[in-house]
Amino acid sequence: MISKVACAALMGIDAFKVDLEVDLARQGMPAFTMVGLAEGAVKESKERVFSALKNSGYRLPPSRITVNLAPADIRKAGSAYDLPLAVALLGAAGIIDQNLLEGWFLAGELSLAGEVKPVHGVLSLALEARKKGAKGLIVGISNAHEAAVVEGLDVYGISSLSHLVKFLLSEETLEPTVVDTKKLWAGRQDFGLDFAEVKGQEHAKRAIEIGAAGNHNILFIGPPGSGKTMLAKRIPTVLPPLVFEEALEVTKIYSVSGQLDRDKALIVIRPFRSPHHTISDAGMIGGGAYPKPGEVSLAHRGVLFLDELPEFKKNVLEVLRQPLEGGEVTISRAAMSLSYPADFMLVAAMNPCPCGYYTDERHACTCTPVAVQRYASRLSGPLLDRIDLQIEVPAVDYKDLRGNKGLDSATMRGNIERVRAIQAERYKDLSILTNSELSGSSLEKFCKLTEAEHVFLEQAVRSLGLSARAYTRILRIARTIADLGEEETIKVPHLAEAINYRSMDRQK
C-alpha cells in the first residue's frame, strides 16, 4: 500500500515542496530503503521514527518498506522529515486513511519516545505551504508561533506523535495557533541605548545621520577610547523601523540558520552583528558542507559592525566586495549554488596606526612612518572605495565630557525617517529604496550638477586621485546631504561636505 505526505526542504532561505511517499509491501524479506538524495540526518530518521512508533503504541507489520523523497534530484537534509515519515508509515499500514492526509504539510523531529522537537526553517516552510494552497501546517509546539506569523495559513502545534494521530482521526480537537503581530511591534524600539549618552563627537553624529538616511557605509578612524564602538552600537536606534516584509526576510534567515529564539515569533528590530576579527571567510560570507548564512546575511536589513578593521584577515575583508555592491552573496559548491540576501549597512572602526595614537595630540605615537603605512595598506583600495563615509573620530576633550548632552536618538531618527520618506517618493517607480543604490542613468537623473559643481568636483577628483567608484559615492552622499537640508538640487557645499567625509582619500 502506498501513502503520501507533503513536507518541504530548504534551499538557501526558501523552501520547496517535497512529496514523501511510502510503499509498504508484504511480499519479500523485511527491509527499509530510502531514495531521493537523502543526507545523513534524513537516513538516520529510520531509527528515530521506528522507536517513536513503537513507544507511541503503534506496530507496523513485517514488510518491505520503500521511501521516496520527490523531487529525487535535489538534496534533502535535516531532521524535519521524521514526523511526515512516521505519519506516512501509519498511512501505508492503514492506521490512518490516506484521505485524511491530503492537503496537510508536516515538519518536525521525533524523539525516541515520540515527542515532537523543533526544527530549523519553519517560517520558510510555512510560506511554501501557503503558496501551495495547503489545508494547514502541522509542526511541534515550539515552532508553532514562528509559523503562525504567516497569514492565510492554519498552523497547528502538536506535542507528540500520538497527539497528531488523534487529531487527524478527529479523536481530539485542536485550535490553530494565533499570533498577535500588533503586540510584537509594540516594544520594538526599546533599545536601552541612546545617542544622548555620547558626549561630544557631533561631527561623527552628523555623519551617522547622513549614513543612516541614505544607507551609506561608514568607517570610523580614531585613537583608542574616542568612542568609535559606542557610536556604532547606537546606530540601530536611529534607523527606520522594519516593515513587515523586511521583518519576514530577516526572520527567515535566522530561522534557517538556527539562531531564532524560540520565544520570538518574528524579529522586529534591525539586526546588529559584530563578529570577532578572527572570523573565517566562510563564517563571514556563509558556507560549509551544508551551506548556511554567514554574518553578512545575518546582518541583512541591519548593521554589520567590524571593530578593529585592519585586524581582520585580508581574504575575509575581500569577500565583502560582492555583498557591499550587490546586496546579496552567492555561494557555489560542486553540488549546488545558493544565494543569500545581504543588504546591510557596513560600519567599521579602526585605529590610525598600530599603537593607536597617530592622530592624538595628547599621546606620542611610537610607530614609524613605514609601520603606519603598512597598517593602512591592510585595507585594499577597492574595499575603501565601497565605504562611503570615512570619518575621523578624535579623542574627546574634557569640556565636552562635562558639557550638555547633544543630539538624542529620537531627534536623529525623526530626521532620518523624513529623508527616507523623500527617497521613497522620489524612487517610487524604480527598484531603488535609498540614495546608496543610485547608479548609471538613475545617478545622472537624480544627481544633476550645474557647471559650478562640475568644476569643483573635477578639481577634487584630480587633486585626491579619486576613482570612478569614489566619484559615484561622493555624488550619492551629496544627494543625501541635500535631502537632509530639503534641497532639490546638489550644490557646492553639499559636495564639499561629502568630500570631507572621504578621510582616507584626503590622507592619501
131-175 pLDDT, tens digit per residue, is 999 999 999 999 999 999 999 999 999 999 999 999 999 999 999
312-362 pLDDT, tens digit per residue, is 999 999 999 989 988 899 888 766 788 899 999 999 999 999 999 988 888
pLDDT at 363: 86
Predicted TM-score (pTM) of the model is 0.91
Instruction: List the grid coordinates of 424.
Output: 521613497
Domains annotated for the chain, with CATH where assigned, are 2-169 (3.30.230.10), 187-429 (3.40.50.300), 438-507 (no CATH)
pLDDT at 384: 87
Q: Which residues pair with 18 in a beta bridge?
A: 7
Contact 33, 66 (CB under 8 A): yes
Contact 4, 24 (CB under 8 A): no
CA angle, 210 as apex, 412 and 313 as ends, to 5°? 115
Q: How far is CA 323 from the centre of its chain?
A: 12
pLDDT at 466: 83
pLDDT at 87: 97
pLDDT at 66: 96
Q: Is 116 helix (H, G, I), strand (E, B) or coil?
A: strand
Instruction: List the grid coordinates of 225.
Output: 577610547
* Low-confidence stretches of the chain (pLDDT beneath 50): none
Instruction: List the grid coordinates of 242.
Output: 522594519
Which secondary-structure segment (H or E) carries 332?
Answer: strand 328-332
- Whole-number Cα distances in Å, 19 to 1, 4, 7, 128, 256: 16, 7, 6, 13, 20
One-letter amino acid of 203: H
Q: Which residues pair with 76 in a beta bridge?
A: 38
Contact 216, 474 (CB under 8 A): no
pLDDT at 140: 96
Which secondary-structure segment (H or E) carries 496?
Answer: helix 492-500
Q: How many whole angstroms separate alpha carbon 83 and alpha carbon 108?
A: 5
Q: In 10 A of CB 508, how many CB atoms?
A: 12
2-11 vs 14-25, strand pairing mode: antiparallel
Q: What is the sign of the dihedral through the CA atoms of 256, 261, 267 and 269?
A: negative
pLDDT at 188: 60
Q: How many whole angstroms separate alpha carbon 481 and alpha carbon 72?
A: 54
pLDDT at 404: 67
